Structure 1
Amino acid sequence: MIKHFSSAALLLALALTATTASAHTGAHDIDGFISGLSHPFLSLDHLLVMLGVGLWASRLTPLNAGFTIAAFLSFMVCGAGLALSGLTIQGVETGILASVLIVGLLLSVSRRLPSLLVIGLLAGFAVLHGFAHGLEMPLAAAPVDYAVGFLLATASLHGIGLGLGAMLSYHRFGLRMSGYITSGLGLYLLFNA
């Protein structure tokens, strides 16, 4: 039981070491691969959503979990493409902050929700996260390197979430507790934006 709570404590510690969502639209270094690789770990909104997607996917069969993560990454690339094409989406930052809250709520729900609803929400969140970073990519010294680092870090956070989810699933309230923590931090981010 202590081991399961230590997993939740690790999630909270990772979240508390990240910075706020002000990391979008050029407020951080975007030089190349290293900045793309580090950003998801240092931005609280991105960290929480990516871990949350992995935690949520841990409830699924391995095949469906892999599909969910691949779909998220694909929709994130689509969002970046929309930004690079010059499309404008209003309220991206608010949507990103709301994604933290909603992913936390998805984790805290004990009953099964319709898969299409959850996948649709996650795809929408992926587009928003990708869009925000697609706006930054032209500012990077090496945009492709930045994107590769960013996608690699995002996939890594999904994998960490899957691992944490597997550990927390042995405890009756493990995933729900991570959802409560994520939701609380999402509310904090929304009210302090």
Structure 2
Amino acid sequence: MTRPLLRTLGIAGALALAPSLAFAHVGVGDAHGFVHGFMHPVTGLDHVLAMVTVGIFAWQLGGRAVWLVPTTFVLLMAAGGALGMGGFTLPYVEIGVALSVVVLGAAVAFGVQLPLAAAMGLVGVFAIFHGHAHGAEMPETASGLAYGAGFMLATATLHLSGLALGAAIGRLGDVYGQAWVRRAGAAVSVAGLGLVLGAL
């Protein structure tokens, strides 16, 4: 990944954070919902690990997966969020979220090269669980649209962070860079097992 692309990813991440900073001092209306929505993914270890790992996984796959895999996650997470906000029950949400960390970490650790459609399907299934968890925990006083925009933007920011992290590690070289990326995936997968077992 070229230096201009890394710079672009960094700028995009900073711009994505700007709206939450601008609204952070307002506690009512749409701003209230947006800030709550934005903070929900970034304050949960399971969500952070899964979403950053989606970015690393997409970077490993390369090509169109770099943008299609994270985009699929964000869109299907929004669908899951709508289900959660609407009061629809989805069984095993917490287990689904925790397993996403295990599976995505393992995919990175083993350098799994799935076909693009399969990779999109894999992250899409997990995205529904993450979205439902966000939607079901929306404060009653929050605007649903603003809350959803907040958690979607936070998720996209975490995906960008994962892409940038994968690219940065990859710059260590084809051999050492891939080894470090896989070690990071293994660490995420182990953390996911801790989440499944309730140890984290």
With structure 2 as the length reference, what TM-score do the two structures score?
0.74
Give 1:89's aligned amino acid: L
Q: How many Å apart are 1:62 and its aligned residue?
A: 5.0
Name the counterpart of 2:121: 120
**Maintained 8 Å contact 2:52/2:159:** yes
Distance change (3 Å), C-alpha of 1:102 and 1:111: closer
Give 2:181's aligned amino acid: L
2:178 counterpart SS class: coil
How big is each residue's C-alpha offset from its partner over 1:103-162, in whole Å with a ceiling of 9 and x where there is no partner? 100111134233333322200000111111121236243332222111111100000000
- Say if 2:187 is the partner of 1:187: no
Distance change (3 Å), C-alpha of 1:99 and 1:37: same
**Maintained 8 Å contact 2:69/2:119:** no
Which is greater in Rg?
Answer: 2
Give 1:190's aligned amino acid: V
Q: Gapped runs of 5+ residues in structure 1? A: 1-30
Spell out the pairing of 1:30-49 with structure 2 (5 A cutoff).
Answer: 31-49=32-50
**Maintained 8 Å contact 1:140/1:146:** no
Give 2:107's aligned amino acid: L
CA distance in 1, matches of 2:38, 2:125: 22
- Say if 2:184 is the partner of 1:178: yes
Higher deviation after alignment, 41-50 or 146-155: 146-155
Give 1:184's aligned amino acid: V
Q: Gapped runs of 5+ residues in structure 2? A: 1-31, 172-176
CA distance in 2, matches of 1:57, 1:183: 16
Q: How many Å apart are 1:98 and its aligned residue?
A: 0.8
- Number of equivalences: 163
Spell out the pairing of 1:51-66 with structure 2 (5 A cutoff).
Answer: 51-66=52-67
Distance change (3 Å), C-alpha of 1:160 and 1:43: same
**Maintained 8 Å contact 2:60/2:111:** no
With structure 1 as the length reference, what TM-score do the two structures score?
0.77
Give 2:160's aligned amino acid: G
Distance change (3 Å), C-alpha of 1:84 and 1:33: closer
Distance change (3 Å), C-alpha of 1:118 and 1:44: same
Percent same amino acid among aligned pairs? 38
CA distance in 2, matches of 1:87, 1:146: 17
CA RMSD in angstroms, aligned pairs only: 1.8
Higher deviation after alignment, 154-163 or 110-119: 110-119
Higher deviation after alignment, 178-187 or 143-152: 143-152
CA distance in 2, matches of 1:145, 1:165: 30
Give 2:138's aligned amino acid: M
Give 1:153's aligned amino acid: A
